[in-house]
Amino acid sequence: MDFEKKINNFLNYLKVVKNASDHTTRNYLIDLKYFTQFLKKKFKKENINISSINKWTLRSYLASLYDQKLKSRSIMRKISTLRSFFNYLMKEKIIKENPLDEIDSPKKQQAFPNAINYSQIEHLFNMPDTSNYLGLRDKVIMEVLYSSGLRLSELVLLDKKDLDEKNNLLNIYGKGKKQRIVPITNTAKNWLKKYLDHKSRFEDNKINKKQKNDKALFLNKFGERITVRSIDRNFKKYLLKSDLDLKITPHTIRHTIATHWLENGMDLKTIQILLGHTNLATTTMYTQVSSKLKRKVYDKTHPRA
């Protein structure tokens, strides 16, 4: 029984049947390759028989992950991947018993989102030099992230047609390719319009002769759709220039606007919809990190406040 072939079948099942994103499928592949290498080392052979994997094998694997001092979150993801894989094998009647049934997942460590204050947002957003085309683009990216609380993976997928300029709306494709419509501020829209109308978008590309992407909203210096990695790299440059906390990331902007929405009176259900959270519990975590909100609630409810 070809173990690695079963993995390929499983990944294909995720794509075709479960409509999993490329990002999700890639993470599953990474985790399953990691597990495969462990099995080859443990059994000292290249071809692994699925029937030889039992709860003791998995406990040994779990122990090895702890020995490597991996973070709890990483271990949870690897176990979750295996749980999905073995559930698939059960569903396809490839195995009769799930060896993970008696394995408990490690407890999740509560990680509260990092958020910054509005003055820090303004300071950071002033770092790009908007007198040049690429600096303008980076400023607009920051404004759009803060305007609508997008994930980077959602922002890079934006096409020009996804902007409804008349109604100040963006059409977003989120996790699991779920679609949602989110509002955009006038500030962000005006910066976007300035970027889209910039003459450099229409000049001949002297660096790379390939035709420019005429659909994507945000382009790299070669005229192609910008990537998450490029945005991360540029963001670090501005962060160093700003002298702000180096732990701030583009995702911090998403956490920040969610916290600011909450502090200014937006209800959790609306925030959930805007952020594209499947579970309201995910959105509720913002109530744990806002000291300003806690103070407001305290002052409003305490008889002697």
What region does 243 belong to: left with phi over 0, alpha with psi -120 to 50, or beta?
left
Contact at 8 Å (CB) between 258 and 286? yes
Catalytic positions, written as ranges: 151, 175, 251, 254, 277, 286
Give kind and range of the element (H or E) at residue 170. Answer: strand 169-173
Q: Domains in the chain and their CATH numbers?
A: 3-91 (1.10.150), 118-299 (1.10.443.10)
Nearest Cα to 13, choosing from 114, 106, 84?
84
For residue 231, pLDDT beyond 90: yes
- How confident is residue 161, by pLDDT bands cut at 50, 70 and 90? very high
Report how far residue 73's alpha carbon sits from residue 111's, in angstroms, rounded to the nearest whole number.
10
Tell me the pLDDT tens digit for each residue of 4-61.
889 999 999 999 998 888 888 999 999 999 999 999 999 888 888 888 899 899 999 9
Interior angle at CA 241, CA 239 and CA 247, nearest 5: 25
Whole-structure pTM over 0.85, yes or no? no
- How confident is residue 178, by pLDDT bands cut at 50, 70 and 90? confident
